[in-house]
C-alpha cells in the first residue's frame, strides 16, 4: 500500500492487537482510522502467528517499529489464553520501544464495529463473547459507546435484558450472540451477522485514549479475564 497518503510526522501511528477470541488480528491506526489490518481466524494460533503478522503489516505499510507512537491492546473479556498472548506481546513491544500502552475493553471495540452498520442514534448495543454453554461476556452500550450495563459474565435466560424498554432498538452481535437467538426473541431485539472481534475496532478508541493520555502501567496492567461469574440483573430500566 502507499503510505505517503497517510504519513505525517506529527500524527500518531498506533499498532492495535486483538486476541481476545479465536480471531488473531493486528492493525495500524492513524489518527483514528484503520489503514491496514490482518486477521487470522484459525483457533489456537495466536502465539505462533501474532509476531509474524506484526512484521507483515509493518512491511506492507513501510513503517518501522520506531515510527509507532503507541501500542493498543484489546484487554478483555475473552479467552484466557488469547488475552495472555496478546497482552504479553503488547507489553513487550511497548517496553522495548519506550512507548505507551493503551488498553481497550473488547466489548467497546466490538461495538465500534457494529455501530458502523446502524444509523439509529437511539439504538442500544449488546456485544456478546462466547463463554461456553449458555454463558456470555456481555454489556449494554448506547450509540456513543457509553456503558449502560457494565461488562459481566451472564448465563442467558428468557428474562435476560428484560429491563430494556420495548421502544428501544436493541442489537446483539459477536460470537456469543448466535446461540441466544432462540431465547432472546423480543420484537425489538435484532441480531447482526458476521461481526467479530478484530483489531480495526480498536482504531478510533485507541486514538481517543492516546489524545487523552489514557495509558496503562506496563508493570501492573493485567487483562480483564472476567473469571468471577456475575449473575445479577440491573434493577433500573434502560432508556433509549
Containing structural domain, residue 49: 3-106+197-211
Domain count for the chain: 2
Q: Are residues 207 and 141 in the same domain?
A: no
Q: Is 0.85 topped by the overall pTM?
A: yes
| 240 within some domain | no
* Whole-number Å distance between alpha carbons of 70 and 206: 9
**Cα–Cα–Cα angle for 105, 239, 167, rounded to 5 degrees:** 115
**Cα–Cα–Cα angle for 77, 79, 85, rounded to 5 degrees:** 105
Nearest CA among 82, 75, 29 for reference residue 223:
75
What are the tens digits of pLDDT across the range 191-217? 999 999 999 999 999 999 999 999 999
| 124 within some domain | yes
* Whole-number Å distance between alpha carbons of 206 and 108: 11
Provide the mean pLDDT of the chain: 90
What are the tens digits of pLDDT across the range 172-181? 999 999 999 9
Q: What is the largest CA-CA distance in the chain?
A: 53
The CATH number assigned to the domain holding 50 equals 3.30.420.40
> φ and ψ at 150, to 5 degrees?
-70, 165
Nearest CA among 130, 154, 131, 151 for reference residue 141:
151
> φ and ψ at 29, to 5 degrees?
-105, 140
Q: Are residues 111 and 181 in the same domain?
A: yes
Q: Are residues 100 and 126 in the same domain?
A: no
Q: Are residues 38 and 114 in the same domain?
A: no
pLDDT above 90 coverage of the chain, percent:
83
Residues 126, 130, 133, 136, CA torsion sign: negative
Q: Are residues 139 and 57 in the same domain?
A: no
Q: Are residues 168 and 157 in the same domain?
A: yes
pLDDT at 54: 98
Amino acid at each position: 500500500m502507499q503510505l505517503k497518503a497517510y504519513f505525517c510526522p506529527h500524527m500518531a501511528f498506533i499498532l492495535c492487537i486483538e486476541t481476545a477470541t479465536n480471531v488473531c488480528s493486528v492493525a495500524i491506526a492513524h489518527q483514528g482510522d484503520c489503514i491496514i489490518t490482518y486477521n487470522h481466524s484459525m483457533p489456537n494460533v495466536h502465539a505462533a502467528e501474532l509476531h509474524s503478522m506484526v512484521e507483515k503489516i509493518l512491511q506492507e505499510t513501510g513503517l518501522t517499529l520506531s515510527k509507532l507512537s503507541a501500542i493498543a491492546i484489546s484487554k478483555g473479556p475473552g479467552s484466557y489464553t488469547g488475552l495472555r498472548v496478546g497482552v504479553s506481546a503488547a507489553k513487550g513491544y511497548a517496553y522495548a520501544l519506550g512507548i505507551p500502552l493503551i488498553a481497550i475493553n473488547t466489548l467497546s471495540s466490538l461495538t465500534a464495529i457494529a455501530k458502523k452498520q446502524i444509523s439509529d442514534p437511539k439504538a442500544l448495543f449488546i456485544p456478546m463473547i462466547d463463554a461456553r454453554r449458555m454463558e456470555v461476556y456481555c454489556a449494554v452500550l448506547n450509540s456513543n459507546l457509553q456503558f449502560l450495563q457494565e461488562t459481566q459474565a451472564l448465563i442467558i435466560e428468557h428474562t435476560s435484558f428484560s429491563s430494556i424498554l420495548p421502544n428501544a432498538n436493541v442489537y446483539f452481535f459477536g460470537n456469543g450472540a448466535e446461540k441466544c437467538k432462540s431465547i432472546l426473541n423480543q420484537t425489538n431485539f435484532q441480531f447482526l451477522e458476521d461481526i467479530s472481534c478484530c483489531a480495526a475496532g480498536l482504531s478510533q478508541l485507541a486514538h481517543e485514549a492516546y489524545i487523552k493520555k489514557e495509558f496503562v502501567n506496563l508493570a501492573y496492567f493485567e487483562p480483564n479475564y472476567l473469571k468471577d461469574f456475575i449473575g445479577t440483573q440491573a434493577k433500573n430500566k434502560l432508556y433509549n
